[in-house]
A and B are shown apart, each in its own frame.
Chain A
């Protein structure tokens, strides 16, 4: 299952809920969720914990749009929209946490 998150963890509990309920599976951070993947944000520790059991991806164009391409946490894989498409295929299904 690919989990797609689009909200900042600093203003929404969505990413936290996803991590609480899902022990495994790929996570893709898009739109305002890309803030979760940047160095120094208060959620960094929780994301790093999750990275021990899940593969975490970030949508690079969304990161660049927000001026944070140089702050990406090591170990988070950046993908473009084509990579997003590939992730929906390599996983058996996907879930957008709206």
Chain B
């Protein structure tokens, strides 16, 4: 499905899961983008960090628990997952609380990475 051009796509996730559908529908775009052989990075900042919290159980709210999908990303060759340190710490979380291995970046490092992208999609 290669389109010939490879661009740097960054998906910036700044919204918590479950309260709104953005996180789930963002994941759908991420998976498709990887299928197009693009250079994909995922960023989790602000409440978006909550998307990666271990132990999400949605049975009681009768919605789809899509959090296991983050673990499947590796299988789609999506390995660039970044979490902003300040956002994570502001929420009382650490890397051990997260479903997947991520690279933790400072705000400044995150800004630098964002500036290098060709296409930034934010959900």
Contacts and interface: CB of A to CB of B under 8 A. Distances in A.
The size class of the interface chain B forms with chain A is: 20 to 34
Nearest to B115: A1
B110 A95 contact: no
Contacts of A97: 12, 14, 122
Interface string A7-48: 000000110010011111100000000000000000000000
Nearest to B120: A95
Contacts, number: 48
A93 B114 CA distance: 10
A1 B14 contact: no
Given A20-B86, A21-B111, A23-B108, A93 B117 contact: yes
Contact of B111 (A22, A92, A93): A22
Interface string B54-97: 00000000000000000000000000000010110000000000
Interface residues of A, number: 17
Interface string A56-94: 000000000000000000000000000000000000111
Given A13-B46, A95-B12, A98-B14, A21 B123 contact: no
A94 to B, nearest CB: 7
Contacts of A1: 114-115, 117, 120
Nearest to B108: A23
B46 A93 contact: no
A14 B45 CA distance: 11
B45 A21 contact: yes
B107 interface: yes
Contacts of A17: 14, 45-46, 87
10 tightest CB-CB pairs across the interface, nearest first? A95-B120, A21-B111, A22-B111, A98-B122, A20-B107, A21-B107, A21-B110, A1-B115, A17-B46, A96-B122
Interface of A: 1, 13-14, 17, 20-25, 92-98
Interface of B: 12, 14-15, 22, 45-46, 84, 86-87, 107-108, 110-111, 114-115, 117-120, 122-123
Given A22-B111, A97-B14, 17 more contacts: A1-B114, A1-B120, A13-B46, A17-B87, A20-B107, A21-B107, A21-B108, A21-B111, A23-B108, A23-B111, A24-B115, A93-B120, A95-B114, A95-B120, A96-B120, A97-B122, A98-B15
